[in-house]
Structure formats: C-alpha cells, structure tokens
Structure 1
C-alpha cells in the first residue's frame, strides 16, 4: 500500500520535470518472477524504472541509504528496497541470496550487472551474479537500457537537472545451463550485456567498471 501511494504521489511530479519515454514495457511479465537487468548511469535509474512499470520492482541498496539522509531512507523503505551491508565479507552472496528469495516469491528483481554506475557513459563488462540468478531460479531476464539519467544527475552531483529520460525494455531472455558452471555464468552474462547494449546504444568499454564506494 505504501509503495502504491508513493508512486501515485510522486510519478506525475517526476514525469512533469523529467519527461520519460518508455518503449517495450509490454515485455515485462504481468505476473511471476523476472530479472530486470539494466545498464547503470545514475542513482536515478532505481527511481525512474519502477515508476514506469505497473508492478513493484525490488532492488538491493547499500545500507547507508537506509541510515543517512532521512528523505532517501524513507524512499528506500517506501519502495521496498533491500538493505545490504556492502562492507560485509559475504555481501555479494548475501545480495544474491536476497534476490533469489525475491524471485522465488514471484516478484520482479532489478539488477545492474556492471556492479556500479558507469564513470564515463560507456557500458562495462557484466559481473556473473545476474547469470547465477537466472540459472539458479529459472527466472527470465528482461534487458533494460536507461538513457539520459546521467545527464539529469551525474556522478558527484546532488541536485538533478531538468532533462528527458528514455527507458528501452527488451524481450525476455531465458537460459539453460548450470549456475555452478563458471563457463555458463560467463556465457549468459555476456549475452545479457549484448542485449542491454543494443537497447542503450552505449559504447562497450570491454573491461569491468572501476569500483566506487558510492556504488
């Protein structure tokens, strides 16, 4: 109820300031589990993608978002995001386990395979956690290309600028293979990132994105 109320109140305001064009929303399953695998340009990605879909999307967010700025903390809780301590030695597996529970519960889970925001607008190599999730749970992967969010709120900025945003959603992908196989995880991840790149139109950087404490 709180999630729906938050969307009803905030969506018209956000769309007025940042007109958003969405293509392919029909590719998101109307029910059942699915993984939304997106490029990551801005912290705003986790705000605008859920706003354009009728179903709730769950993301993992670092614990600091729940304990710092009270407005951010309230938004994270209202939108049902999952708090993870990224300083924990088991943070990566904790994230995957939490995501698997969301999917097994029949919900939508959003993930950024690059692992962090792009520092320069290019698309970086995906980490294999997204493939583990797909192969372990059997959930389809829906590729997503976010466009323009980095112009509205670049890394390091605290106040968003006015601008237009695009969200392109591709057809669901299903995969076969073993979650325990490193080769299968790499293959599936690369296929997902190719689909994301086709939607986002980004230049492919080739390597992993440099780690950022801001995530």
Structure 2
C-alpha cells in the first residue's frame, strides 16, 4: 500500500532527463540491461517501469502503485504477460499521472504542472523506443479516469504527443458502458488487443 506523504507540489520533482540518466547507470538491486525504472529509486512518483526491447507495448494506466523491478504487482504481471502474448518483446508501464497512490482516492486533488510536464517528456521518450513500425499504446486506465478532473486534460496532452509520432492505440477486454478501456487486472492471460480510437473516445467520453 502506498499513501502519498504529501502533495507533489511540496516536493522537489526530479526532471525526467536527469532521472533517466541516473536510471541507465548500473544498479545494485536490479539489472539495467533488462529493466527500465525511472526514477531508479522508490519515491512518491514514477515515470516509467518496464523492460528493455526494440518493440515494446506501452501500457497506460492512471497512476503508479508499489511495483518496482523484480517486484511486479499483479497488474504489472498481467501487463507483461499480455504484451509478450501479443508478440511484443517488452513492455513499458506508463501512467496518465505520475503520482504513486495505491488507492486512486488518495491522489492529489490538483494537478502538479511540473510533474505533468516531466511525465509528458517521459511519454515522448517511451514512444521513441519503438525501433520498427509505429509505437503501440495499450489504453488501460478503466473508469478510474473519472476520479480527478485533471486526468482527462493530462490524457489529451498524451494523445497529442501520440498523434505527432504516429502511434497506434489498442484496448484489451470489454469496455465499460461509458466506453472506458478495461484495466489490465482480471483480463484473461491470452487476451488480444483491439484497435482503440482514442480521439473519438476523448471527444465522446471525456
């Protein structure tokens, strides 16, 4: 369980570029040739957690919980399983908002623009890791996107970046009555990916 110690606006937020530079250095507790973990230590926010490869599936949830390299939670285990099962060689777990909170109700009430800006830098970098073909994004945030009004604005910024880089969006499993994509937990291990029109989703569901 992770409950935020305070709002991220009260903390010094490390830039994604600096956090990435440190995360690429050898680490004592995990193999950097296998794992991507930015920042590379446990704190109240996380930009990226995933594995290395040339064709990653980029899964987008709402916000991080407690997972770390060599210690994936059930959601991340499902993400990795479905990524590999659909022909990708790696996965990157990304989130609409970077603040850690096991319970979405504990997320801060107001968006921290500095944290959001660095999270978008991380998102662009993640998309650029696809070496062949278009970057593949798995929309997997569920109805939790309704928890905070700022989440829809954060997602719109992500979609703009994705549009610039020619991404392909997918969902897995049944969508909600409102059209929200299914969360990775509780999906069948052999779940396939379906095309997801994220631009229509934003205009009609958010």
What's the TM-score, normalizing by structure 2? 0.38
Higher helix share: 1
What's the TM-score, normalizing by structure 1? 0.37
